[in-house]
């Protein structure tokens, strides 16, 4: 891959515990920006999910972001998410192809951003 293909500015957020507690005495999670990187964005497909109440149909769209590995190598699926142009992406899995530590491929699904 050519570094010139990295044209999309993405933000990586992490859910971190705060010292504040809610009414159930549990620590409140806060979204903290941990990295901003340039990435290549690729559409990888979509699908329809059915069998939901009232036979409604929901589209699940997936993408792949690729960025320089050393920019943020410790990306974890359940701990981080990506925000790009107002769209939140849940991380499904990451791939460091050939363990070359050159580029990190991040496979994501589009989420509703609140």
| CATH number (domain holding residue 84) | 2.40.10
Overall domain count for the chain: 1
| Structure tokens that stand for 21 in this block | 């507690």
Each residue's pLDDT tens digit, 15-70: 998 888 888 888 888 999 999 999 999 988 765 555 555 555 445 668 999 999 99
Span 90-105, average pLDDT:
92
> How far is CA 33 from each of CA 94, 99, 102, rounded to the nearest angstrom?
19, 26, 23
Q: How many CB atoms lie within 10 A of CB 40?
A: 18
pLDDT of res. 14: 96
Please count the other Cβ atoms lying within 10 Å of the Cβ belonging to residue 108: 25
Query: Has residue 12 got a pLDDT over 80?
Result: yes
Question: Residue 77 sits in which domain range?
Answer: 3-111
What pLDDT is attached to residue 61? 66
């Amino acid at each position: 891959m050519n570094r010139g293909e990295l044209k999309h500015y993405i933000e990586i957020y992490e859910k971190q515990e705060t010292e504040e507690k809610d009414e159930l005495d549990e620590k409140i999670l806060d979204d903290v920006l941990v990295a901003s990187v340039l990435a290549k964005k690729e559409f990888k497909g979509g699908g329809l999910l059915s069998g939901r109440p009232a036979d409604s149909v929901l589209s699940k769209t997936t993408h792949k972001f690729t960025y320089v590995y050393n920019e943020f190598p410790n990306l974890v699926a359940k701990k981080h998410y990506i925000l790009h142009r107002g769209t939140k992406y849940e991380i499904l899995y990451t791939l460091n192809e050939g363990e070359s530590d050159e580029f990190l491929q991040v496979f994501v699904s589009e989420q509703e951003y609140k």
